[in-house]
Each structure stands twice: as structure tokens, then as C-alpha cells.
């Protein structure tokens, strides 16, 4: 333990992507910031591990917003050692008979690959995607880096523009309905779009249909961080550090100290106490309010905070990742059909129809883990031969436990991989690592039940309802306490939105200089009434 | 701008603990220093990673920290920068035998060591007492001069010298007159009566990186080793795992204004007119292909092979340097690690109860015959089967520091001594193929000693010498000691004769690794590199913080626990 001062302007709980981002902006604005994390290393889910010289991103892999997130430029992250790489082939869906449909950020290029399967869909794709890209670029990305409009205001305000009214319509639809409305015929195309939309646990039959274009579009724009996801955290930590943030690692927080309805500091598990004018928690709402603040203090501030928090809904599915260090890179047989398949950042395997995908998701919710369906986010580092597998997984298995199943899984999934990349049959597996839902939950305690986004994306927990109507503008009913983790708008997935947005709110409340300028896309969206 | 500046006074290549030590001393002495580390985290062998069950901290390489021996501990205020040293119990090392007996080594209390030996063999206990009472008062200065001063002797000098042997023979007549011609096995046989005591002590010599079949310096180790154990207190971990040493060094370096750049492999040392002038980073570095100048010195913390062959470039080496580097190759023992997670504290059913809280042990060496078998295996490049685990096993990590495992879980590791080459399997690349099988053999062997312990294992992670090498290519042939440790490479002959290490044959280029003393967590080679560079650059004078002696920190930490180590045995 290092030596801490007795008082800070801002104490931030959790040095994940959002905590780090908030620390960067606020310390650069002149605040004296203390950033605390229970792990020895910063980054939360931004984990890069190394086994036998092979690097693996064992949790966060694909960065959906790297090319648009304001912190990347505001904080000059490249100069602090974070550089993202966007491969030109974003995704491929690979069939059992050795073909592949490939997907690119570029609409026309994707249409060409679709045309090999269905010429009419290729034409329709250009039209539909022009609309989808517009709503993502003009409404949803700007909303990610600004305060959410209260839901009622949003409904009214969004009707003022064409883009907004499309989002309003979609908000009522399920992913499946939004996809149906696009009118594609090719099962493979529809499956790929829905797979990309749901691979991080979105419910295909719940509402929030506008998230389908968002996830689809942003996964086609997704990047990986050179030298590993952790480099994003490391670059943020360096920026924060050089701007005076004190980072206290390997330190568990026991309580957020309150004085009446006000937060006044934090207490560590080892008994040390630090005072702070402002406390920002990036933990999930149950940990923040029930464990750290405590029910009594919550009740003093709000009559319904405790009840609201108790009803927080975790995700119904989690993820299972399997990582292999290999003597050679996997080579898809589908690369014979389309060489781009081998270079795709995400390779979808084991599912070729929408019904098949829906059945897979239903089975997962029912506790079954299917080793035949998954996606392989490729490692595009040039130095090493690794393979990865990522698929939806239940936290509770209906038959047996993850502990009992873990070891055998590596072999079963390698068999699936080998069906698509036969050269793996002769490769030596130098290491494998299975990061199942119970491991995720154990390593990252805010990912309760393997909830990778700190809580489900359902209408009652999104937009200005995330985590609840009283806290979604990052302020909470407890004075001086703010929330900013994945359980707050715009959610998880390493968008850095929560940290970015809370920094603006806290800077305003503390009268600090907002040294950064609002991105143009937000200003434009504001003119149209699309952001708060 | 946040990347590296164009020029620093000193550039350190490699952020292992010795590189960080050298970097920090020089930065603190007023120079402007940058350190470039290939990996995303500094620390090299001083690493702790969650590679198996969540919450299980795995000390993949450095496992027994002797950082308390080091003057660095006080000079760089490592405690203030977060380092907290912990140990599990006073019986630091133990050596179990299949018949449920054990020879134990006390880390704190020489009198208890004497009584323990006496319970096995009174004659051998008297040998220990007599030599202890003479040597104990000298141990700190022996330690300081052997670990923290530039070595002035090579293998010839130490083998010719009667020195300490002659002195000890005055009180221990069993020491043969020709002691300087004998090896450690022969000395142990001459001096001790009990075969278990001999075996346990010689195994500890192997563990400490010396070869009991070598003569010279290590011939007297059978006498010195038990004294070293209880005067220097050798068995420690740090809170959070071995990586905590790295963290403390990094924090100290940063606090004094040093710049550490991780994810920055160095491709080349810029040589101009035979002098080191800077470095060029790799295309994969965080700052790709950047050239950074060093106006006064470049210190390589890589081992000799990558430093000279890759970074300076084999083509620019004089013949004698190239020959020296090529000869500096680990043809001896390297280590194979098993790391286990247990679901209950380690317990040794049927053995003396003290060892349940012992820190470390060795097993699979029942007699001197097993030591001879190890020698033969290493000479013939055969894999010992059954394994010989004389490289140190540790059960004390989570006993000493509960943060290294989740509640109710404990960790344990072992290092079996193995050769690097695997000719009978088709070469060292076959380590990937046989790794888990060999790990099973180690499990089976330990089960013979303690079936209950193995029943409590819930997960295992094995690291082969090839894994060590791939993880850190500076660990040539999987060496955990930055190169071979035999007598041939003693002192001034490390890494090769006439190198002048930590100076190198090239102007402005220094070595802080692959020099005497070989890689341990004493931080000795980093300290010596700092000393020589600071003297050469004229910045050493007036650094009044640079004043601590070997073992000062260890004594203070023990005193805080109410223990005075090194007091005479009545």
C-alpha cells in the first residue's frame, strides 16, 4: 500500500474503462483525483494475459467505438501507447460446406460478397444499410457520448426529425422484427446480422430494436488494440497518472462514507478512510447502493432507491471464451471460396439459419451450453498463432457445473474449430484457457452471474432508465455521489461513454474547467433534439 | 507529448527487476533515465499472474524472495513504495524423506537448528554449532562482498585459494586438508556422518544454483548453507506475490521522475564508433521504430545472447566476444514448474508437525545417489525419471499472504531440475508435447511423500523451460538465472572472461544481467551495474541515501517481529 492523502476532490471506485476515463478528464481539469481498484492492474475487463509468450485478450476483445470515441483524441491516447487496428475484413459467416459471406464496414464491398449468394439481397442491403448507418451515426453514437434524454422527452423530441422517428419506431420493435422489416431473403445474411446483434447477450425478441443496427454497424467498425486490450487501460492510466491522479491498486473498498444524505468519502477494507468532495462509483448498482452506501443511508436520501436497486436485472446469458496457443494459425477451408474469410476479425461458425440461432439462444437461456455454435474473434497480432472462441453461455448449467465441464470444453470446441479449419487437426495446442461464466464472475465481481454489461439491456434498464430514472444523469439521490459504470447509460462494451459523460457532469458541479470540446457529431445531434 | 524524449542520459533495455534497480539508482542520482520493456508489464521473472483459477496469484518465476538481503531495500525505500515481505513460519526449508522423516532448516533461530540436528545426529549438530559460531558474525560482510560488489575473482582464484577452508579446519578437523581440490559432495561426506543431513544440505546447494559436483567456491557450501539459512532468513514472499517487488521498484523509479515504457521491445542498440549511443524500438513497439539517444550510457538488462548477438549485432562483435557469448549457454540444469491450487492448507501426515507451516522444500532426493543420478541426467541430457525436485518447492505463498489465493484456497509450486535439450524426444521444442506428462510424473512423485496433499489439489499449471524461454527470450534455453551458473562462469568470468562486467567490451554499454551474481531477487546485479555506471559517470559521490549494507533490511524486519538473528549458540 502506498501512502494516501486524507482528502481528495474526487474519489473514483473502480479502475475499469469508465473509472479510468473519468479520472483522466477530471484530473486534467485540475481536480485532485484518487482512483481505486481491487485488482493489482487497472482495466477491469480490459485484460490481456500472456501464456508462454502468447498474448490473449481473455475478456474484452472487440472495441466497437474506437474510431469515434471522444476520449481517443481528447486524451491523445495514441501518444500514451494505445493504438487501435481495424482489419479490412470485419466479419465472416462460414458454412459447413466451405463457403463464406464476408462483411466489411464498407456497404458496397459487403454487397459484393452478399451478391455471390443472393443478388437481390445485395441491392436491398445497400438501401437498408444506408438507413441503418444514418441512425447509428446521427443519433445513437451521439447519444452514447451525451446525457440520455428522459424517456418521455425523448419520444417527443425524436419525433421532430426523420432519423429520430425511425429510432422511436425501432425502440418498440424486437431485433427479429427490425431484421424482418429489412426484407432480406438470404438466411445466411440474416443469421450473420442477427448473430452480430446478439453475440454480446442482447435479447433477439425483447425490445430496443435500434440496438440491432447499432451493434451490427459498430461490430463491422470494430477494432482491436495493438499489443492487447489492456493497452487501452494502460494508456488511460498513464494519462491519469501524469495528470496527477493517484491510483491505489489492490485495494478493496468497504464503504462509501456518508453524512446524512451526502457522500463524504470512502473506507477501505483495511480500515483506512479517505475524505472526498465527490465520490464516483463505477460498480454495479447493487454493490454501490446496497453494499457500499448501505440501505440506511440510501433510505435517508430516497424512499425508493433500495427497492429500485433490488429489482436490478442481471443478464440472462453470459459468455464463455476459450483461448488456444497453437503451433500454427487456423486456416479455414472456406478461404478457398473467399480468401477474406481467413482474415475476418469475427468468424461465425456453427449456425446458418435464423431459427437455428434463435434456438441456440433459447437453449443457452435454458442452461445448455452448445460447443457447436460460436464466433472466433481473430488475433490480428502478427507475432503469434492463437485461436479464440467466444459464445453465449449460461451462468448455471442445466447439467453439471462449469468446474466439472471446463477441461473437456477445450477439446470439444477445438473439434468444432477443426471442422472449419482442418489444419488444426495436426497443430500442437501449447496452452489453452477456458474463461467460463463463473470465472468471469469471480474475476470481475460487478459482472454478477457473468453479466458482462453489469446488468441486462432491457427497456426498463436502458437509456434514462439505466440504472434507474433517478441516477441516469450520473447524479444520484445521494448528494456528491455519482455513478458511471457499465450499469449506467450507455452501458458496457468499452465505449468509455459512462466515464466521459460523468466527467462532464462532475466538472460542471465542481465548477471545473471543461477543457475538452464537445464532438461535432454531438453538437449536430443536439440541434436535431436527439441528445440531452 | 507523452512518448519518449529524443535523448536521455541513460537508457536501460529491459524492465526486469535488475534493470529497474539500475535505472532507479541512476535516476535518483540525478541522471535522466528511460527504461524500455518489451512486455506490457515490467518485472520479467518477478511476475505474478492469474493464469489458472480466478483469484489464484501464480508466481510464475521468482518464488522465494531474498530482497531483504539487499541494500536496495533501504536505499530505494521499497517499503515506502508498497513492498511488504511475508513468510509462513520459522522452519523455512525442509527436506522430506519417504520414511516420513524430515531434515528441517530454521530461518530464524540457530539454537533450534542445533537442537534439530542433534535429534538426528549429535556429531553433525556439533559441526553446525562450531562453524556457526565462527561464521555467523561474518555472514553479512561475506554476503555484501559476494553479492553486492563487483567481483574481482574468477574461477581459478577461488579454486586455488585455501582461504576459508583453512580457517574452518582449525575448528572442524574433519575438513580435509586438500579441501580446495574437493567438491561439495566429497566435503559433505567427510564432514557429516548422517546421510539424510548430507543429502538435505547438498540438495539446498543445488537449489541455490550451485553444483555440488563442482569444486572451488561451492565446496564449502555444505558447511555454510545451514548457517546462511538461519542468519539470512531466506524464505519470503511479498504481499500480492512476487510482482510486488516490481511494483515497488516501478513506483520508486516513477516517483524520482524516471520513465518506463512498456510494450516497447528494443530491436537494436545504436552503435557509433564502437560506442553505444541509443536504441531503436521494434515495429511492434508502442512507439514503433522510434530511435532514442542515450548521451551517456546504455545498460542492457537482457542476458548476454540477446544483448550482443541481437541488439549489438553478431556482425559487429570482435571474435573473442562472439566466442565468449556463444560459449555462455545453459548446458546445465533448467527448471520445470508445477503450480497447484489446493482446497485446504498443506498438511504433512506422519511428518514432524513444524513442516506444515514451512515455506519451501525439496523432494525426490533420498540419498547422495539421487544427486549423482541428477548429475548423470544433466550430463547426458536425459530427463530424470522419476523427477528430481531440488530446484525449490514452495507451499508458503498463501500461508504467508492470504491475498495470493481466494479464501479457503492455497497455492504450492515445485521446480524439478531438468535439462533443456530433449534429444530422446527430438529436441527442446518437444517440451510442448511432453509437458503435461512430465507434470504428472512430478505429481506422482509428490504423492509418494504426501498423498493427502495431492488429494487436495484442484488445479495445476505447468511451465516448461520452453515456456520460460518463449515468455522471455532473454531466458536463453529456459534459464532462470540469466545464463549458466557453473564454476566456469564464476565472478569475473561471467558472462565471459575479460568482459569486465557490468562493463562490456563496448564503450557506454553496460550489463545489469548475466553478470555476477546471477539472477536472484537480491537485486545484486542491478545494484552492481548502478554502482559501476554511477562511478564511471561521476554521479556517485554525494548520494548520501546510497548507504545501506547487505542484510540491514532483513535484520530490521526480523527485529520488528522480536527476533534477533545471528546470535551465538551457547
Which residue ranges form the domains of chain B, and what is each CATH number?
7-63+242-329+484-539 (3.50.50.60), 334-478 (no CATH)
CA atoms within 13 A on the CB side of A46: 33
Task: Give yes or no for B547 touching A (CB within 8 A).
Answer: no
In the numeric block, the cell 463505477 is attached to: A282
pLDDT of residue A419: 96
Residue B319 CB contacts under 8 Å (≥ 6 apart), including other chains: none
Q: Which helix (H) or strand (E) holds B10?
A: strand B7-13
What's the pLDDT band for A110 if we cut at 50, 70, 90?
very high
For residue A165, is pLDDT > 50?
yes
Report the alpha-carbon distance of residue A120 to residue A78 in Å, rounded: 42
Residue A246 CB contacts under 8 Å (≥ 6 apart), including other chains: A2, A4, A5, A8, A33, A34, A35
Best to test chain A binding among B1, B2, B464 (most A CBs inside 10 Å): B2
- According to DSSP, the β-strands at A224-225 and B389-394 are unpaired
Chain B closest-CA separation from residue A53 CA (Å): 4
CA nearest neighbour of A377 among A426, A318, A321: A321
DSSP code at position A147: P
| Alpha helical stretches, state H, A274-382 | 285, 295-301, 305-310, 340-343, 354-365
In the numeric block, the cell 495528470 is attached to: A243
Report the alpha-carbon distance of residue B416 to residue A5 in Å, rounded: 46
Report the alpha-carbon distance of residue A450 to residue A436 in Å, rounded: 8
- Write the DSSP assignment of B359-379 as a string of letters: SEEEES--SHHHHHHHHHHHH
- Write the DSSP assignment of A445-495 as a string of letters: TTSGGG-TTSS---GGGSGGGSS-TTTTTSB-SSBTEEE-STTSTT-SSS-
Task: Measure the CA angle with vertex A516, ends A512 and A517; round to 5°.
Answer: 120
Tell me which chain A residues have a C-beta less than 8 angstroms from the C-beta of B39. 50
In the numeric block, the cell 481491487 is attached to: A38
Report the alpha-carbon distance of residue B335 to residue B332 in Å, rounded: 10
Report pTM: 0.92
- According to DSSP, the β-strands at B33-36 and B259-261 are parallel
pLDDT of residue B1: 43
pLDDT of residue B331: 63
pLDDT of residue B231: 87
Buried b (16+ CB within 10 A) or exposed e, A17-48: bbbbbbbbbbbbbebbbbbbbbbbbbbbbbbb
Is residue A274 within 8 Å of residue A4, measured between CB atoms? yes
| Three-state secondary structure call for residue A34 | strand
DSSP code at position A13: E
CA nearest neighbour of B202 among B334, B373, B16: B373
Tell me which chain A residues have a C-beta less than 8 angstroms from the C-beta of B336. none
Residue in chain B lying closest to A83 (CA): B286
- Across the interface, of A53, A231, A238, the residue whose CB is closest to B40 is A231
CA nearest neighbour of B333 among B557, B136, B149, B484: B484
Is residue B471 within 8 Å of residue A50, measured between CB atoms? yes
Residue B323 CB contacts under 8 Å (≥ 6 apart), including other chains: B496
| Three-state secondary structure call for residue B498 | coil
Task: Give yes or no for B470 touching A (CB within 8 A).
Answer: yes
- Cβ contact B48–A40 (<8 Å): yes
CA dihedral B380, B386, B392, B398 (to 10 degrees): 150
For residue A379, is pLDDT > 80?
no
Report the alpha-carbon distance of residue A317 to residue A430 in Å, rounded: 30
CA nearest neighbour of B267 among B313, B318, B326, B329: B313
pLDDT of residue B210: 84
Instruction: Specify the CATH number for A7-80+226-311+453-527; select among 3.50.50.60, 3.40.1350.10, 3.30.70.141, 2.40.128.640.
Output: 3.50.50.60
- According to DSSP, the β-strands at A346-349 and A91-94 are parallel
CA nearest neighbour of A279 among A291, A295, A299, A293: A293
Residue in chain B lying closest to A1 (CA): B82
pLDDT of residue A222: 94
- Across the interface, of B82, B240, B263, the residue whose CB is closest to A227 is B263
Report the alpha-carbon distance of residue B373 to residue B385 in Å, rounded: 10
- Across the interface, of B81, B240, B473, the residue whose CB is closest to A250 is B240
- Cβ contact A227–B284 (<8 Å): yes
For chain A, the straight-line distance linking the first and the last C-alpha, in angstroms and rounded, comes to 41
CA nearest neighbour of B240 among B68, B56, B91: B56
- Residues A490, A492, A493, A498: is their CA dihedral positive or negative? positive
What does residue B166 show for φ and ψ, rounded to 5 degrees? -60, -40
Chain B closest-CA separation from residue A216 CA (Å): 30
Report the alpha-carbon distance of residue B10 to residue B533 in Å, rounded: 10
What are the structural domain ranges in chain A? Answer: 7-80+226-311+453-527, 84-138+169-224+315-443
**Separate counts of helices (H) and strands (E) for chain A:** 20, 18
- Cβ contact A40–B433 (<8 Å): no
Is residue B510 within 8 Å of residue B299, measured between CB atoms? yes
Best to test chain B binding among A49, A50, A55 (most B CBs inside 10 Å): A50
Task: Give yes or no for B289 touching A (CB within 8 A).
Answer: no
Peptide bond into B210 cis (omega under 30): no
Is residue B376 within 8 Å of residue B387, measured between CB atoms? no
In the numeric block, the cell 461535432 is attached to: A520
Summarised one tens digit per residue, pLDDT across range A196-254 is: 999 999 999 999 999 999 999 999 999 999 889 999 999 999 999 989 999 998 899 99
In the numeric block, the cell 562453524 is attached to: B131
Report the alpha-carbon distance of residue A401 to residue B458 in Å, rounded: 14
What's the pLDDT band for A1 if we cut at 50, 70, 90?
very low
Best to test chain B binding among A430, A434, A440, A447 (most B CBs inside 10 Å): A430
pLDDT of residue B155: 83
| Three-state secondary structure call for residue A367 | coil
In the numeric block, the cell 477501505 is attached to: A268
- Cβ contact B286–A54 (<8 Å): no
Cα separations in angstroms, B113 against A146, B131, B221, B229: 69, 13, 17, 10
The CATH number of A84-138+169-224+315-443 is 3.90.660
pLDDT of residue B219: 84
Residue in chain B lying closest to A440 (CA): B54
Chain B closest-CA separation from residue A119 CA (Å): 42
Q: Which helix (H) or strand (E) holds A186?
A: none
Q: How buried is residue B150: exposed, middle or buried, by Cβ count under 10 Å (0-12/13-18/19+)?
A: middle
- Cβ contact B2–A242 (<8 Å): yes
Note whether A7-80+226-311+453-527 and A84-138+169-224+315-443 share their fold.
no
CA nearest neighbour of A245 among A434, A496, A42, A481: A42
- Cβ contact B263–A76 (<8 Å): no
CA nearest neighbour of A141 among A193, A45, A215: A215
Residues 177-236 of B with CB under 8 A from A: none
Report the alpha-carbon distance of residue A218 to residue A210 in Å, rounded: 12
- According to DSSP, the β-strands at A273-281 and A262-268 are antiparallel
Best to test chain B binding among A2, A40, A404, A433 (most B CBs inside 10 Å): A40
Chain A closest-CA separation from residue B2 CA (Å): 6
Is residue B362 within 8 Å of residue B426, measured between CB atoms? no
Chain B closest-CA separation from residue A40 CA (Å): 8
Cβ–Cβ contacts within 10 Å for residue B319, how many?
A: 7
Q: How buried is residue B341: exposed, middle or buried, by Cβ count under 10 Å (0-12/13-18/19+)?
A: buried
DSSP code at position A139: I
Best to test chain B binding among A3, A54, A81, A383 (most B CBs inside 10 Å): A81
- Across the interface, of B1, B40, B287, the residue whose CB is closest to A230 is B40
* Mean pLDDT of all residues in A18-42: 96
Is residue B276 within 8 Å of residue B507, measured between CB atoms? yes
In tens digits, chain B (570 residues) has pLDDT values of 478 999 999 999 999 999 999 999 999 999 999 999 999 889 999 999 988 889 999 999 999 999 999 999 999 999 999 999 999 999 999 999 999 999 999 998 999 999 999 999 999 999 999 999 999 999 999 889 989 999 888 887 776 656 677 788 888 999 988 887 889 999 999 999 999 999 999 999 999 888 898 877 678 889 999 998 888 877 899 999 999 999 999 999 999 999 999 989 999 999 999 999 999 999 989 899 999 999 999 999 999 999 999 999 999 999 999 999 999 986 678 999 999 999 999 999 999 999 999 999 999 999 999 999 999 999 899 999 999 999 999 999 999 999 999 999 999 999 999 999 999 999 999 999 999 999 999 999 999 999 999 999 999 999 999 999 999 999 999 998 888 888 888 889 999 999 999 999 999 999 999 888 887 889 999 999 999 999 999 999 999 999 999 999 999 988 998 888 889 999
- Cβ contact A428–B467 (<8 Å): no
pLDDT of residue A381: 67
In the numeric block, the cell 489439489 is attached to: B457
Task: Give yes or no for B493 touching A (CB within 8 A).
Answer: no
Q: Residue B12 corresponds to which cell in the numbers above?
A: 536501460
For chain B, the straight-line distance linking the first and the last C-alpha, in angstroms and rounded, comes to 65
The mean pLDDT value of chain A amounts to 95
pLDDT of residue A382: 61
Is residue A86 within 8 Å of residue A221, measured between CB atoms? yes
Best to test chain A binding among B53, B54, B241, B261 (most A CBs inside 10 Å): B54
- Across the interface, of A52, A227, A249, the residue whose CB is closest to B467 is A52
- Across the interface, of B54, B240, B263, the residue whose CB is closest to A231 is B263
Residue ranges of chain A whose CB lies within 8 Å of a chain B CB: 1-3, 40-41, 48-54, 76, 79-81, 83, 226-228, 230-231, 234, 238-239, 241-242, 249-250, 327, 381-383, 428, 430, 433, 439, 442-443
Report the alpha-carbon distance of residue B371 to residue B76 in Å, rounded: 40
Tell me which chain B residues have a C-beta less than 8 angstroms from the C-beta of A381. 284
Summarised one tens digit per residue, pLDDT across range A471-514 is: 988 999 999 999 999 999 999 999 999 999 999 999 999 999 99
Amino acid at each position: 500500500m502506498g501512502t494516501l492523502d486524507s482528502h481528495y476532490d474526487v474519489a473514483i471506485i473502480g479502475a475499469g474503462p469508465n473509472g479510468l476515463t473519468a479520472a483522466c478528464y477530471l484530473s486534467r481539469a485540475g481536480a485532485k483525483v484518487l482512483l481505486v481498484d481491487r485488482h493489482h492492474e487497472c482495466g477491469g475487463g480490459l485484460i490481456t494475459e500472456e501464456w508462454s509468450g502468447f498474448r490473449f485478450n481473455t475478456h474484452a476483445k472487440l472495441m466497437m467505438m474506437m474510431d469515434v470515441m471522444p476520449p481517443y483524441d481528447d486524451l491523445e491516447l495514441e501518444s500514451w501507447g494505445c493504438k487501435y487496428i481495424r482489419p479490412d475484413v470485419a466479419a465472416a459467416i462460414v458454412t459447413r460446406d466451405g463457403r463464406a459471406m464476408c462483411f466489411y464496414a464498407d456497404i458496397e464491398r459487403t454487397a459484393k460478397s452478399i451478391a455471390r449468394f443472393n443478388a437481390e439481397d445485395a441491392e436491398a442491403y445497400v438501401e437498408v444499410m444506408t438507413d441503418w448507418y444514418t441512425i447509428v451515426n446521427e443519433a445513437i453514437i451521439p447519444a452514447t457520448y451525451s446525457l440520455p434524454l428522459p424517456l418521455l422527452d425523448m419520444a417527443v423530441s425524436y419525433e421532430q426529425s426523420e432519423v429520430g422517428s425511425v429510432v422511436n419506431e425501432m425502440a418498440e420493435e424486437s431485433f427479429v422484427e427490425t431484421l424482418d422489416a429489412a426484407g432480406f431473403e438470404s438466411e445466411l445474411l440474416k443469421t450473420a446480422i442477427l448473430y452480430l446483434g446478439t453475440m454480446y447477450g442482447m435479447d433477439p425478441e425483447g425490445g430496443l430494436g435500434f440496438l440491432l443496427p447499432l451493434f451490427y454497424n459498430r461490430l463491422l467498425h470494430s477494432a482491436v488494440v495493438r499489443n492487447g486490450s489492456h493497452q487501452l487501460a494502460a494508456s488511460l492510466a498513464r494519462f491519469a497518472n501524469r495528470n496527477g491522479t493517484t491510483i491505489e491498486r489492490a485495494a478493496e473498498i468497504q464503504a462509501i462514507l456518508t453524512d446524512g444524505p451526502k457522500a463524504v468519502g470512502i473506507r477501505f477494507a483495511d480500515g483506512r478512510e479517505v475524505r472526498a468532495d465527490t465520490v464516483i462509483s463505477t460498480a454495479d448498482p447493487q454493490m454501490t447502493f446496497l453494499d457500499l452506501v448501505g440501505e440506511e443511508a440510501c433510505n435517508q436520501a430516497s424512499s425508493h432507491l433500495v427497492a429500485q436497486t433490488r429489482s436490478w436485472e442481471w443478464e440472462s446469458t453470459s459468455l464463455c471464451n476459450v483461448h488456444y496457443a497453437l503451433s500454427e494459425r487456423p486456416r479455414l477451408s472456406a478461404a478457398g471460396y473467399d480468401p477474406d474469410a481467413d482474415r475476418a476479425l469475427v468468424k461465425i461458425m456453427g449456425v446458418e439459419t435464423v431459427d437455428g440461432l434463435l434456438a441456440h439462444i433459447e437453449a443457452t437461456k435454458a442452461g445448455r451450453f452448445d460447443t457447436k455454435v460460436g464466433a472466433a474473434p481473430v488475433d490480428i497480432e502478427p507475432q503469434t498463432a492463437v485461436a479464440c472462441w467466444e459464445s453465449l453461455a449460461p451462468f448455471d448449467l442445466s447439467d453439471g457445473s462449469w468446474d466439472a465441464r471446463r477441461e473437456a470444453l477445450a477439446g470439444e470446441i477445438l473439434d468444432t474449430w477443426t471442422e472449419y479449419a482442418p489444419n488444426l487437426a495436426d497443430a500442437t495446442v501449447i496452452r489453452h484457457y477456458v474463461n467460463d461464466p463463473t470465472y468471469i464472475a469471480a474475476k470481475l465481481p460487478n459482472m454478477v452471474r457473468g453479466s458482462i454489461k453489469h446488468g441486462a439491456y432491457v427497456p426498463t434498464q436502458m437509456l434514462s432508465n439505466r440504472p434507474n430514472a433517478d441516477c441516469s444523469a450520473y447524479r444520484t439521490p445521494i448528494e456528491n455521489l455519482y455513478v458511471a459504470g457499465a450499469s449506467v447509460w450507455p452501458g458496457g462494451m468499452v465505449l468509455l461513454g459512462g466515464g466521459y459523460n460523468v466527467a462532464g457532469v462532475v466538472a460542471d458541479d465542481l465548477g471545473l474547467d471543461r477543457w475538452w470540446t464537445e464532438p461535432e457529431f454531438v453538437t449536430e445531434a443536439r440541434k436535431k433534439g436527439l441528445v440531452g | 507529448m507523452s512518448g519518449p524524449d529524443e535523448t536521455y542520459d541513460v537508457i536501460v533495455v529491459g524492465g526486469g527487476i535488475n534493470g529497474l534497480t539500475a535505472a532507479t539508482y541512476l535516476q535518483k542520482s540525478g541522471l535522466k533515465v528511460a527504461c524500455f520493456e518489451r512486455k506490457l508489464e515490467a518485472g520479467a521473472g518477478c511476475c505474478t499472474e492469474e493464469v489458472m483459477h480466478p483469484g489464484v496469484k501464480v508466481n510464475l518465476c521468482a518464488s522465494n524472495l531474498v530482497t531483504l538481503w539487499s541494500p536496495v531495500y533501504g536505499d530505494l525505500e521499497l517499503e515506502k513504495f508498497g513492498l511488504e515481505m511475508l513468510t509462513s513460519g520459522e522452519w523455512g526449508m525442509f527436506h522430506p524423506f519417504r520414511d516420513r522423516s524430515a531434515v528441517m532448516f530454521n530461518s530464524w533461530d540457530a539454537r533450534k537448528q542445533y537442537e534439530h540436528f542433534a535429534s538426528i545426529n549429535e556429531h553433525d549438530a556439533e559441526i553446525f554449532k562450531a562453524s556457526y559460531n565462527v561464521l555467523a558474525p561474518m555472514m553479512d560482510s561475506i554476503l555484501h562482498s559476494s553479492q553486492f560488489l563487483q567481483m574481482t575473482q574468477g574461477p581459478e582464484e577461488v579454486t586455488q585459494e585455501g582461504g576459508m577452508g583453512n580457517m574452518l579446519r582449525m575448528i572442524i578437523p574433519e575438513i580435509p586438508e586438500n579441501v580446495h581440490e574437493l567438491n561439495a559432495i566429497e566435503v559433505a561426506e567427510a564432514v557429516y556422518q548422517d546421510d539424510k543431513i548430507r543429502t538435505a544440505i547438498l540438495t539446498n546447494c543445488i537449489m541455490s544454483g550451485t553444483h555440488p559436483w563442482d569444486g572451488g567456491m561451492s565446496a564449502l557450501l555444505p558447511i555454510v548453507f545451514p548457517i546462511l539459512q538461519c542468519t539470512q532468513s531466506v524464505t519470503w514472499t511479498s504481499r500480492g506475490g512476487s510482482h510486488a517487488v516490481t511494483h515497488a521498484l516501478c513506483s520508486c523509479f516513477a516517483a524520482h521522475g524516471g520513465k518506463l515504457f512498456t510494450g516497447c521491445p528494443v530491436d537494436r542498440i545504436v552503435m557509433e564508433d564502437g560506442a553505444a549511443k541509443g536504441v531503436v524500438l521494434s515495429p511492434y513497439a508502442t512507439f514503433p521504430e522510434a530511435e532514442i539517444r542515450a548521451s551517456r550510457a546504455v545498460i542492457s538488462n537482457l542476458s548476454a545472447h540477446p544483448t550482443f548477438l541481437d541488439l549489438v549485432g553478431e556482425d559487429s562483435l570482435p571474435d573473442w566476444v562472439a566466442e565468449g557469448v556463444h560459449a555462455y549457454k545453459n548446458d546445465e540444469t533448467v527448471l520445470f514448474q508445477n503450480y497447484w491450487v489446493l482446497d485446504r492448507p498443506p498438511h504433512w501426515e506422519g511428518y514432524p508437525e513444524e513442516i506444515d507451516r514451512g515455506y519451501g522444500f525439496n523432494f525426490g532426493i533420498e540419498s547422495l545417489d539421487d544427486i549423482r543420478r541428477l548429475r548423470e541426467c544433466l550430463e547426458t541430457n536425459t530427463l530424470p525419471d522419476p523427477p528430481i525436485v531440488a530446484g525449490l518447492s514452495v507451499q508458503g505463498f498463501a500461508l504467508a499472504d492470504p491475498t495470493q489465493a481466494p479464501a479457503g484456497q492455497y497455492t504450492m509450486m515445485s521446480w524439478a531440475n531438468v535439462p533443456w535439450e530433449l534429444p530422446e524426444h527430438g529436441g527442446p521444442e518437444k517440451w510442448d508435447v511432453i509437458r503435461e506428462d512430465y507434470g504428472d510424473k512430478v505429481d506422482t512423485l509428490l504423492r509418494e511423500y504426501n498423498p493427502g496433499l495431492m488429494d487436495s489439489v484442484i488445479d495445476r499449471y505447468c511451465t516448461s523451460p520452453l515456456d520460460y524461454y518463449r515468455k522471455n527470450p532473454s531466458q536463453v534455453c529456459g534459464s532462470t538465472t540469466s545464463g549458466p551458473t557453473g564454476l566456469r562462469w564464476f565472478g569475473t568470468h561471467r558472462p565471459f572472461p575479460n568482459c569486465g562486467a557490468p562493463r562490456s567490451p563496448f564503450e557506454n554499454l553496460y550489463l545489469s544481467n548475466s553478470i555476477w551474481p546471477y539472477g536472484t531477487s537480491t537485486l545484486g546485479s542491478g545494484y552492481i551495474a548502478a554502482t559501476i555506471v554511477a562511478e564511471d559517470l561521476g554521479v556517485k559521490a554525494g548520494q548520501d541515501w546510497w548507504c545501506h549494507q547487505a542484510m540491514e533490511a532483513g535484520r530490521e524486519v526480523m527485529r520488528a517481529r522480536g527476533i534477533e538473528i545471528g546470535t551465538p549458540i551457547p
